[in-house]
């Protein structure tokens, strides 16, 4: 019964959401068309929605878009997986060795706000103008966020949970997997989301400057050929992928954890 | 046989730079199968003392002997019902109750049987699949009790477990706990600020002094069981403890307003 009411509420909310999205999109495209018709910018600097749609069709039909998306996502996933695994491991080590953790935490905080693009020249000279170089930029841009949030989330676990678990015989690995990780989860996921978005910034930036394939490259080709249609089409693709990845994966995960904990019941 | 022995337990805490002596040489002997209640003014160190017995807190000096051997770490042989409940919000009620059993590697079927029994006892079977935030404070407290009982420990440490319960539920659990104790012959150390609770439950009631704490008096309550809280014959013990506590509570209040 309660379940029923809740799911009903959810489906209404979903409908509402969908209607809002469609409406906002319509308004956006309408305003865009209007500005286009006012003729403030020349057509080459600001094409109409229709011209952009044509560019879209062009890069879809000649397969550059699909290939670009594939390459970019492939790199992103590999880079993020490495940065996730390594970042977590380093984060755990920081917890284990307190002095090391404290030092590395301040150090990483500095690097957290370091712009990802600024890693590019370093990476080109250190590793080269290749896939590995791009991976390096992605990893360096996201790993500190993973490290810091792993370290911070674990340190902020209320001691009573650890006490209760130890009191019931948990220690070492069982304490870690049954208590430390789930207790840290809500804030850990926030850090992972942030790292993901840093990685996403980094891959596009790196591809613009150091790649001959990928979404970033399609964007940069558009600029070279003064093809604003293509530029905007790739921007829309980048936006959509970023949004979908966050909403369908990370945001969903965060919501699920928050619901379980009852964190959505703030009044 | 002496199950648990606290020898000269001393504990100070750092309080914004000042060190505060909380436990000033606590000595307590608990026989196997004994039921000891601890009463004392708020802040006198009852929870701290239980934490030390549980091995969660280290004393500055003195030691805890369990079956004659000093304890060094926390362990499932001394299960605690925490004053704050301390349930895990990421687990369903039933998984909370089974937590210690799972850690001990008990197979799932067996765990289910045990958790069902204690959820039944606490009359919370209906909430087995709920999450912690969906429960009232009193319900949480009962889950915490079920969780500790399910572990079937040698010693049960209970820190004001009935504080958040309505009086009917409390009366029910007061009897239930006595029955469990008689049936299983568990050793129980039970902290409460409710004097009538302590005379109903305890074989002995240890009255803690105001900080720095010592055991001011131990009162033996030799009376048949199960006892009910409204039993007239318990009155004399009740008044005896009230007398012992009166001056301590006064001292504590004076302390806090200085
Ligand atoms: N981690 C801590 N750091 C500093 N002081 C502490 C700490 N834990 C407890 N204390 C102090 O130790 C004293 C005893 O605390 P404790 O929780 O054991 O009291 P209690 O007897 O259980 O009180 P209550 O009946 O209110 O639960 C208090 O004065 C408290 O301020
Ligand atoms: Mg207490």
B1 domain-assigned: yes
Determine the pLDDT at residue A109: 86
How many other C-beta atoms lie within 10 A of the C-beta of residue A192? 25
Nearest to A124 by CA among A137, A116, A133: A133
Final residue before a domain boundary, out of B139, B158, B191: B191
Average model confidence (pLDDT) for chain A?
89
Report the distance separating Cα A105 and Cα A94, nearest Å.
Answer: 8
Percent of the residues in chain B that have a pLDDT greater than 90, as a whole number: 58
Residue B41, ligand 1, Cβ within 6 A:
no
Residue A163 has pLDDT above 80, yes or no: yes
> Which residue has 């613009």 as its token pair?
A208
Confidence category of residue A151, pLDDT binned at 50, 70, 90: very high
Please give the residue of chain B at the shortest CA–CA distance from A164.
B86
Determine the pLDDT at residue A1: 44
Same domain, B61 and B88: no
Determine the pLDDT at residue B37: 95
Residue B13, ligand 1, Cβ within 6 A:
yes
Mean pLDDT of A195-210: 93
Determine the pLDDT at residue A265: 67
Relative to the CA of B14, which ligand 1 atom is closest? 4
Determine the pLDDT at residue A43: 84
B95 Cα to the center of ligand 2, angstroms = 26
Residue A267 has pLDDT above 80, yes or no: no
Same domain, B128 and B220: no
B45 domain-assigned: no
Report the distance separating Cα A38 and Cα B165, nearest Å.
Answer: 72
Same domain, B179 and B216: no
B46 domain-assigned: no
Same domain, B183 and B203: no
Final residue before a domain boundary, out of B191, B214, B239: B191
Same domain, B64 and B107: no
Mean pLDDT of A75-81: 96
- Side-by-side strand order, sheet with B35-39: B78-81, B155-159, B187-191, B35-39, B204-208, B215-220
**Which residue, judged by its Cα, is nearest atom 9 of ligand 1?**
B48
E strand or H helix at B189: strand B187-191
With vertex at residue A261, the alpha carbon angle to CA A258 and CA A265, rounded to the nearest 5 degrees, is 75
- Contact between chains at A167 and B80 (C-beta distance less than 8 A): yes
**Which residue, judged by its Cα, is nearest atom 18 of ligand 1?**
B45
Same domain, B204 and B238: yes
Q: How far is A5 from chain B (nearest CA, A)?
A: 16
Report the distance separating Cα A188 and Cα A83, nearest Å.
Answer: 14
Cβ–Cβ < 8 Å for B79, B56: no
The pick from B16, B20, B22, B190 for probing ligand 1's pocket by mutation, whose C-beta has the most ligand atoms within 8 angstroms, reads: B22
Residue B44, ligand 1, Cβ within 6 A:
yes
Residue A54 vs residue A5, higher pLDDT: A54
Same domain, B174 and B97: yes
B84 domain-assigned: yes
Nearest to A191 by CA among A250, A133, A135: A250
B111 domain-assigned: yes
Mean pLDDT of B217-244: 88
Residue B181 has pLDDT above 50, yes or no: yes
Which of B73, B74, B100, B114 is the mutation pick for testing A, counting most A CBs within 10 A?
B74
Residue A86 vs residue A45, higher pLDDT: A86
Among the bound ligands, name the one nearest to the CA of residue B248. Answer: 1
Cβ–Cβ < 8 Å for A66, A218: no
Determine the pLDDT at residue B124: 92
Same domain, B61 and B79: no
B chain contacts of residue A182, beta-carbon cutoff 8 Å: 88, 90-91
B49 domain-assigned: no
Cβ–Cβ < 8 Å for B192, B141: no
B48 domain-assigned: no
Determine the pLDDT at residue A158: 94
Same domain, B10 and B84: no
- Total of domains in chain B: 3
Determine the pLDDT at residue B54: 94
Mean pLDDT of A74-102: 94
Confidence category of residue B201, pLDDT binned at 50, 70, 90: very high
Residue B48, ligand 1, Cβ within 6 A:
yes
pLDDT tens-digit series, residues B96-146: 999 999 999 999 999 999 999 999 988 899 999 999 999 988 889 899 999
Determine the pLDDT at residue A13: 67
Please give the residue of chain B at the shortest CA–CA distance from A161.
B86
Same domain, B234 and B176: no
- B103 reaches A (C-beta below 8 A): yes
Residue B66 has pLDDT above 50, yes or no: yes
B141 domain-assigned: yes
Same domain, B183 and B207: no
Same domain, B27 and B90: no
Range of the domain at B15: 1-35+55-69
- Contact between chains at A168 and B79 (C-beta distance less than 8 A): yes
B13 Cα to the center of ligand 1, angstroms = 9
For residue A183, give the nearest of B76, B90, B104 by CB distance: B90
Percent of the residues in chain B that have a pLDDT greater than 70, as a whole number: 99
Among the bound ligands, name the one nearest to the CA of residue B49. Answer: 1
Q: Residue B82 belongs to a domain with what CATH number? A: 3.40.50.300
Confidence category of residue A11, pLDDT binned at 50, 70, 90: low
**Phi–psi pair at A237, nearest 5 degrees:** -60, -45
Mean pLDDT of B228-234: 86
């Amino acid at each position: 019964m309660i379940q029923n009411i809740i799911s009903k509420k959810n489906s209404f909310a979903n409908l509402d959401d969908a209607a809002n999205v469609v409406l906002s999109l319509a308004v956006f495209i309408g305003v865009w068309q209007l500005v286009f018709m006012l003729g403030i910018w020349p057509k080459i600097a600001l094409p109409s929605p229709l011209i952009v749609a044509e560019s879209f069709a062009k890069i879809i039909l000649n397969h550059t878009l699909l290939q670009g998306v594939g390459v970019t996502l492939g790199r992103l996933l590999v880079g993020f997986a490495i940065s996730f695994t390594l970042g977590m491991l380093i984060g755990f080590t920081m917890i284990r060795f307190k002095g090391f953790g404290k030092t590395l935490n301040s150090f990483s905080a500095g690097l957290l706000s370091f712009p990802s693009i600024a890693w590019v020249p370093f990476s080109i000279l250190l590793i080269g103008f290749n896939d590995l170089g791009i991976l390096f930029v992605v990893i360096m841009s996201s790993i500190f966020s993973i490290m810091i949030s792993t370290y911070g989330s674990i340190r902020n676990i209320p001691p009573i949970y650890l006490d209760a678990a130890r009191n019931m015989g948990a220690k070492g690995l069982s304490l870690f997997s049954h208590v430390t990780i789930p207790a840290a989860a809500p804030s850990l996921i926030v850090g992972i989301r942030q790292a993901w978005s840093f990685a996403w910034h980094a891959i596009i930036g790196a591809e613009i400057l150091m790649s001959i394939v990928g979404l970033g490259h399609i964007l940069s080709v558009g600029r070279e050929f003064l093809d604003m249609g293509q530029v905007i089409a790739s921007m829309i693709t980048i936006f959509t992928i970023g949004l979908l990845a966050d909403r369908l994966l990370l945001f969903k995960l965060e919501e699920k954890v928050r619901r379980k904990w009852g964190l959505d019941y703030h009044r | 046989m002496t199950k648990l022995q606290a020898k000269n337990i001393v504990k100070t805490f750092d309080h914004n730079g000042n060190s505060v002596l909380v436990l000033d040489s606590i000595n307590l002997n608990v026989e196997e199968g004994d039921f000891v209640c601890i009463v004392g003014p708020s802040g006198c160190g009852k929870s701290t003392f239980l934490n030390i017995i549980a091995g969660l807190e280290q004393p500055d000096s003195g030691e805890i002997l369990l079956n004659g051997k000093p304890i060094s770490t926390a362990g499932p042989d001394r299960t605690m019902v925490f004053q704050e409940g301390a349930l895990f919000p990421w687990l369903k009620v039933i998984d909370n109750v089974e937590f210690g059993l799972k850690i001990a590697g008990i197979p799932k079927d067996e765990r289910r049987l045990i958790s069902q029994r204690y959820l039944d006892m606490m009359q919370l079977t209906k909430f087995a699949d709920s999450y912690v935030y969906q429960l009232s404070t009193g319900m949480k407290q009962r889950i915490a009790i079920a969780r500790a009982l399910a572990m079937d420990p040698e010693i049960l440490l209970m820190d004001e477990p009935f504080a958040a319960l309505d009086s009917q539920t409390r009366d029910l659990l007061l009897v239930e706990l006595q029955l469990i104790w008689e049936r299983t012959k568990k050793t129980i150390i039970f902290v409460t600020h409710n004097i009538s609770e302590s005379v109903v439950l305890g074989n002995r009631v240890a009255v803690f002094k105001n900080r720095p704490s010592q055991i001011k008096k131990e009162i033996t309550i030799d009376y048949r069981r199960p006892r009910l809280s409204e039993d007239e014959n318990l009155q004399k013990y009740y008044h005896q403890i009230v007398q012992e506590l009166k001056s301590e509570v006064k001292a504590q209040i004076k302390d806090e307003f200085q």
